Amino acid sequence: MKEACGVFAVYAPGRVVSHLTFDGLYALQHRGQESAGMAVSDGSLVTVLKDMGLVASVFDERKLSGLSGHLAIGHTRYSTHGKSDWMNAQPIYLSSPMIPGGFAMAHNGNLTNTEELADRAGMLPGIGLADSGVVAELILQHHVVDPTLSSVDLTPTLSKVLPWVEGAYSLVFLDANRVYGIRDPNGFRPLCIGRLGPEEAPEGWVFASESPALDVVGATYVREVAPGELVTADADGLHSIQLLPAAVERLCIFEFVYFARPDSILHGKEIHGTRRRMGELLAAQSPVKADLVMGVPDSGVPAAEGFARASGIPYGQGLVKNRYIGRTFIAPDQTSRANGVRRKLNPLRENIAGKRLVVVDDSIVRGTTTKAIVQMLRDSGAAEVHLRISSPPFKWPCYYGIDTPNRDELLAANSTIEEIRQFLGADSIGYISLANLRLAVGKTDEGLCDACLTGTYPVPVKLRGADAVATSDVTATKVPTLLAQGAE
């Protein structure tokens, strides 16, 4: 699985916002490594710079010094279905005589009615535009000019256009004078608010996909943007309206398992502690006699710590990760993917040889990586390899902003647990139950999306040329034909 975009916005007169945005995007690099960009406004002129590549390769001191202003938005992208090319890099910038200075937009998520929106915008089908581009076009076409307002304000336009938009989105916008942040009514993707300066005299405001991007720019975490809430920051401070009626919250459960950084705050708790709790519950649920617990770096490590603590089995490091592997490399086939594992992970043979190992990882998607890891550990002399996975079997594709393979490539969609164990070559395998995962996250009832584990899609996805289908109609045979194009 790949993450699928990070967004950042800052309003901070007197600060060098291009540098703040660079640092914020750098902290969000794990959410997207294909392209990076930012848009900066000085109150009249919006300047956009974006390119393919990592944040540090797109921007340097010379480029940042040319981006002057007091407000900015930024984006890191990993494409899911939309093409990975410059045209789809973000922020998207559009302008018209009705919107002096224009506006810029950056998106994390994936829309489920892109074709319907493209029809509404009068756009030709199949021209390869990502869903974000369609929303930007609709905002341009349907811009509402409020004669009572002295400057451009996108709020009336957003309240007209966003009710047409379905699916997952955390969006940030910028016009000449203000920045905006909004989450979809289900809140699939995270977005939080930070304050620059003291509470009694704020010097600026920051919106970011994850809280470490606030930390790195010296902002104080304030709160999450609520589902359906529009928050704006301008010369008059911070403003909030409930732009769209909030639905049941469906924050992606995999933000807790894998996507978010361990130092991120979600639902008021640090992710690292939540992952450790997953490991503790997994140890109680799937105990095993062993000599060493090890995590698959990086996201399997906190759950391994929790497993070790709860089971009393010593924790140790068994694999070393090469941190300098470019994450943009996508192996074209299964064989080169397996070779890619050796490039990325190498065993610590003295820790492994002769030991019965508990190997904790966050998820199994195709199984190729896990199979290669098990083989690598056996080749290094492991006596036994017991896999423990801190998410339930991954059986359904994601249509809300995460890159997953089709259902026929998902190992758990097509195999029993025993078949999975045999395929991976492990001595035993145990997945955390959905109930225990929810317990670790602290949401035992609602509040989370778990569609890729259960097949219950909270927002209907749409079939090409068909009306919306109810969740229960999304079957194994229909899923591969679902329309979910242009993901960000």
- Name the residue nearer to ligand SF4 (CB basis): 282 or 452: 452
Mark residues 24-63: x for contact with ligand SF4 by CB under 6 A, - for none.
----------------------------------------
* Structure tokens belonging to residue 37: 């960009």
Q: Which of the following is catalytic: 5, 252, 449, 452?
A: 5
Contact stretch for ligand SF4 (CB under 6 A) within 20-28, 246-254, 293-301, 413-421: 246-254
How far apart CA 486 and CA 115 sit, in angstroms, is 10
Q: Fill in the DSSP letter of residue 105.
A: E
How far apart CA 309 and CA 9 sit, in angstroms, is 39
- Name the residue nearer to ligand SF4 (CB basis): 233 or 461: 461
Contact 7, 74 (CB under 8 A): yes
- Contacting ligand SF4 (CB under 6 A), which of 12, 40, 252, 296? 252
The least CB distance from residue 253 to ligand SF4, in Å, is 4
The least CB distance from residue 401 to ligand SF4, in Å, is 6
Q: Which uninterrupted H or E stretch holds 74?
A: strand 71-77
* Residue 452 appears among annotated catalytic residues: no
- Name the residue nearer to ligand SF4 (CB basis): 217 or 448: 448
Instruction: Say whether residue 254 binds ligand SF4 (CB under 6 A).
Output: yes
Tell which positions 352-411 bind ligand SF4, by CB under 6 A.
398, 400, 402
The least CB distance from residue 186 to ligand SF4, in Å, is 9
Tell which positions 326-355 bind ligand SF4, by CB under 6 A.
none
- Name the residue nearer to ligand SF4 (CB basis): 101 or 187: 187
- Interaxial angle between packed helices 271-285 and 301-311, expressed in degrees from 0 to 180 and rounded to the nearest 10: 50
- Name the residue nearer to ligand SF4 (CB basis): 2 or 269: 2
The least CB distance from residue 412 to ligand SF4, in Å, is 13
Tell which positions 93-152 bind ligand SF4, by CB under 6 A.
none
CA distances from 49 to 21, 43, 54, 74, 170 (A): 12, 17, 13, 10, 21
How far apart CA 51 and CA 61 sit, in angstroms, is 15
Q: Select from 276, 267, 225, 191 the least CA-distant residue to 446.
A: 267
The least CB distance from residue 125 to ligand SF4, in Å, is 25
- Name the residue nearer to ligand SF4 (CB basis): 28 or 451: 451
Tell which positions 437-456 bind ligand SF4, by CB under 6 A.
449-452
Contact 291, 314 (CB under 8 A): yes
Q: Select from 143, 240, 253 the least CA-distant residue to 183.
A: 240
Q: Residue ranges of the alpha helices (H) in 9-106?
A: 17-27, 55-58, 61-65
Contact 435, 450 (CB under 8 A): no
The least CB distance from residue 303 to ligand SF4, in Å, is 17
- Size of residue set near ligand SF4 by CB under 6 A: 11
Contact 82, 487 (CB under 8 A): yes
Tell which positions 181-200 bind ligand SF4, by CB under 6 A.
188
Contact 193, 169 (CB under 8 A): no
Footprint of ligand SF4 (CB under 6 A): 188, 252-254, 398, 400, 402, 449-452
Instruction: Point out the residues that are catalytic.
Output: 5
